[in-house]
């Protein structure tokens, strides 16, 4: 896993990015083509996880949960 960075997105930004990425992945799948960047599926999963955490928590609480998850994943890779 590559080094993680923090990018400030609004809730609407995050939802728009997820919607667009899902749409494009579905479009490629329906066409029977390969994705140029197959890891986008994992990125999309992580974005959706972030979205689910934000849906049920305050932004501050969600960030703590996400930071903890990122740290856990980084430790697993090492």
pLDDT tens readout for residues 23-67: 999 999 999 999 999 899 999 998 998 888 777 767 777 777 777
In which residue are the tokens 């994705």 written?
A: 35
Q: What is the pLDDT of residue 1?
A: 56
Q: What is the pLDDT of residue 18?
A: 96
23 DSSP 8-state letter: H
Q: Is 2 a domain residue?
A: no
Q: Is 64 a domain residue?
A: yes
Per the structure, the count of domains in the chain is 1
Q: Is 58 a domain residue?
A: yes
Q: Is 5 a domain residue?
A: no
Q: Which two tokens stand for residue 9?
A: 């997105």
Q: Which pairs with CB-CB distance under 8 Å and at least 24 residues apart come from 19-26?
A: 21/47
Closest listed residue to residue 44, CA positions, set 26, 32, 57: 26
21 DSSP 8-state letter: H
Q: Is 3 a domain residue?
A: no
Boundaries of domain holding 37:
11-77
pTM: 0.67
């Amino acid at each position: 896993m590559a080094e993680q960075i923090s990018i400030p997105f609004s809730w609407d930004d995050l939802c728009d990015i997820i919607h667009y990425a899902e749409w494009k992945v579905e479009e490629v799948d329906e066409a029977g083509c390969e994705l140029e960047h197959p890891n986008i599926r994992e990125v999309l999963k992580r974005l959706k996880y972030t979205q689910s955490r934000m849906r049920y928590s305050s932004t501050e609480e969600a960030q703590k949960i996400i930071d903890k998850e990122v740290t856990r994943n980084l430790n697993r890779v090492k």
